[in-house]
Amino acid sequence: MTDITARLDALPGLDPRAPLLQVNDLHVEFRTRDGVARAVNGVDLWLNPGETLAVVGESGCGKSVTAQAIMGILDTPPAHVTGGEVLYRGVDLLRLPETDRRGVRANRIAMIFQDALSALNPVYTVGFQLAELFRVHRGTSRREAKRRAVELLDQVRIPDARRRVDDYPHQFSGGMRQRVMIAMALALDPEVLIADEPTTALDVTVQAQIMSLLAELQRQRDMGLILITHDMGVVADVADRIAVMYAGKVVEEAPVHDLYAHPGHAYTKALLESIPRLDFKGQPLSVIRGLPPALTDLPSGCAFHPRCAYAREICRLEPPPAYRIAPQRITSCHFVREVLGV
């Protein structure tokens, strides 16, 4: 069993100096009865150690599919990765044999989901599921594995971990289950953690607990974190950089302060203006008219043009190129100057 790890170190092309994670021009489509849904249409992302990258966007814009493609857990069919690369330390995961991929998945890149209950196996105790990870991937002895399971539960601050390690998932509350999920994801010390809406199902007070736990664990381990969410508030609190997705594309990527202060894409700007604020009672909310497009039938040119207040003829005709407007800022909007107000 230790050989999974061993083989991993021998991954051909693995370069410790290469960027931690880089996604280039990723394309994923779903071939269904109703036609081909182009869920991801050329996503570019990168992630450095210790960094938090937030991926935001409305539901259905392809956030989860992107994450699942990175993890290699999409079901084919209906999903087909039709192009691009996912580079982990220089190795293209999309071209890796499935056995190697599985090793990467457990040891290097881990993921937690919105619905922790369905992600845990209901018929085994939480402790057993944690210990199993150590036994399978590290060849740890039964006793040692159990000890480390307790230690992990302790780290994610489950009170009375020694006793609760023998409980079943349904015996935990929503927040506690999400902690267990985090413990499972971190068990093998991954370098990258992808969290797909980890707090969407939780109350704000519990959300605050989970987010602070995640931030702390990330700091301790110098781990790269991809946080997928639709909550612009959570993002403002924790992210270093933000990638805004719309209709399967990253339309803007920017450091968090810049993005909120000077959104460089018409969609980002409209999105930020449509959020009611806790800290003041504002004017009537400004709205984005219309609906997100059907992925089976994407608008021509810039996919946002039917809803965009800045749109002009060219937006309908030409897809906007990616402009690098500052060293770490990329935006795909024909009228970035107007949007920025410069």
Partner 1 sequence: MSDFTAVSTAEAPGPRAGRPDSGPRSLAGDAWRDLRTSKVFWIAAVLVVVVLLMAAWPSLFTSADPRDCVLARKNAGGSGGALFGYDFQGCDVYAKTVYGARDSILVGVSATLIAGLLGLVVGLLAGYLGGWIDALLSRLVDVVLAIPFILGAIVLAKRLSSDPESNGVLAVIVTLGVLGWTTAARVMRSAVISAKNQDYVTAARMLGAGPARLMVRHILPNAISPFVVVLTVLLGINIAGEATLSYLGVGLKGDAVSWGLAIAEAGPYARTVAAPLVWPSVFLAATVLAFIMLGDAIRDAFDPKLR
Partner 2 sequence: MSDVVLETRGLVKHFPARRGAVRAVDGVDLHLRRGETLGVVGESGCGKSTLARLLVALEKPTRGEIRVRGEDLTRLKGAALRRARRNIQMVLQDPYTSLNPRMTVGAIIGEPYDIHPDAVPRTGKARAVQELLDIVGLNPDHLNRYPHQFSGGQRQRIGIARALALRPEIIVCDEPVSALDVSIQAQVINLLEGLQRELGLSYVFIAHDLSVVRHISDRVAVMYLGKIVETGDHAAIYEQPTHPYTQALLSAVPVPDPRLRGRRDHIMLEGEVPSPADPPSGCRFRTRCWKAQPACADHEPLLEIRQRSPHPSACHFAEIRDVMRRF
Ligand X SMILES: Nc1ncnc2c1ncn2[C@@H]1O[C@H](COP(=O)(O)OP(=O)(O)O)[C@@H](O)[C@H]1O
> What is the binding site for partner 2 (CB under 8 A)?
58-59, 173-176, 203-209, 212, 230-237, 239, 256-257, 260-261, 270-272, 274-279, 281-282, 284-289, 291-292
- CB closer to partner 1, 56 vs 270: 270
Taking CB under 6 A as the binding criterion, the range among 15-23, 55-63, 208-216, 297-305 that sits at the site for ligand SF4 is 297-305
Q: Which of 52, 64, 199, 229: binder of ligand X (CB under 6 A)?
A: 64
Please state the three-class secondary structure of 213-269 as a single string: HHHHHHHHHCCEEEEEECCHHHHHHHCCEEEEEECCEEEEEEEHHHHHHCCCCHHHH
Per partner kind, with CB cut-offs from 5 to 8 A, the member of partner 2, ligand SF4, ligand X, none near residue 320 is: ligand SF4
CA nearest 340: which of 225, 246, 261? 261
Do you know the residue count of the chain? 342
Taking CB under 8 A as the binding criterion, the range among 104-112, 131-139, 290-298, 325-333 that sits at the site for partner 1 is 290-298
Structure tokens at 28: 């994923």
User: In angstroms, rounded to a whole number, what is the distance separating the alpha carbons of residues 160 and 171?
Assistant: 14
Q: Which of 57, 84, 103, 175: binder of ligand X (CB under 6 A)?
A: 57
Structure tokens at 319: 């897809």
Q: Is 78 helix (H, G, I), strand (E, B) or coil?
A: coil
- CB closer to ligand X, 26 vs 181: 26
Per partner kind, with CB cut-offs from 5 to 8 A, the member of Mg ion, partner 1, partner 2, none near residue 279 is: partner 2
Return the residues of window 243-302 that contact ligand X according to CB under 6 A: 295
Min dist. Cβ of residue 186 to partner 2 (A): 21
Return the residues of window 42-71 that contact Mg ion according to CB under 5 A: 64
Whether the link from the prior residue into 284 is cis, omega within 30° of 0, is: no
Q: In Å, how far are 52, 56, 118 from 48, measured between CA atoms? A: 8, 18, 30
User: In angstroms, rounded to a whole number, what is the distance separating the alpha carbons of residues 244 and 61?
Assistant: 10
Burial zone of 43 (CB within 10 Å; 0-12 exposed, 13-18 middle, 19+ buried): buried
Strands 192-196 and 224-229: parallel
Question: In degrees, to the nearest 5, what angle opens at C-alpha 135 toward C-alphas 118 and 1?
Answer: 115
Residues 68-87, mask of contacts with ligand X (x by CB under 6 A):
----------x---------
Return the residues of window 210-239 that contact partner 1 according to CB under 8 A: none
Per partner kind, with CB cut-offs from 5 to 8 A, the member of Mg ion, ligand SF4, partner 2, none near residue 64 is: Mg ion
Using CB under 8 A as the binding rule, whether residue 33 contacts partner 1 is answered as no
How many residues touch partner 1 under the rule CB under 8 A: the total is: 5
- CB closer to partner 1, 297 vs 338: 297
Q: Which of 63, 138, 146, 265: binder of ligand X (CB under 6 A)?
A: 63
Q: Which of 302, 325, 329, 330: binder of ligand SF4 (CB under 6 A)?
A: 302
If one counts every other C-beta atom within 10 angstroms of the C-beta of residue 201, the result is 17
Per partner kind, with CB cut-offs from 5 to 8 A, the member of partner 2, ligand SF4, ligand X, none near residue 32 is: ligand X
User: In angstroms, rounded to a whole number, what is the distance separating the alpha carbons of residues 242 and 239?
Assistant: 7
- CB closer to ligand SF4, 63 vs 307: 307
Rounded to the nearest 10 degrees, what angle do helices 142-155 and 126-138 cross at?
A: 120
The amino acid at residue 12 is P
CA nearest 111: which of 15, 211, 13, 196? 196
Per partner kind, with CB cut-offs from 5 to 8 A, the member of ligand SF4, partner 2, Mg ion, none near residue 310 is: ligand SF4
User: In angstroms, rounded to a whole number, what is the distance separating the alpha carbons of residues 226 and 238?
Assistant: 11
Per partner kind, with CB cut-offs from 5 to 8 A, the member of Mg ion, partner 2, ligand X, none near residue 39 is: ligand X
User: Site residues (CB under 6 A) for ligand SF4?
Assistant: 265-267, 302, 304-305, 308, 310-311, 315, 320, 333-335
User: Site residues (CB under 8 A) for partner 1?
Assistant: 287, 289-291, 294
User: Site residues (CB under 5 A) for Mg ion?
Assistant: 64
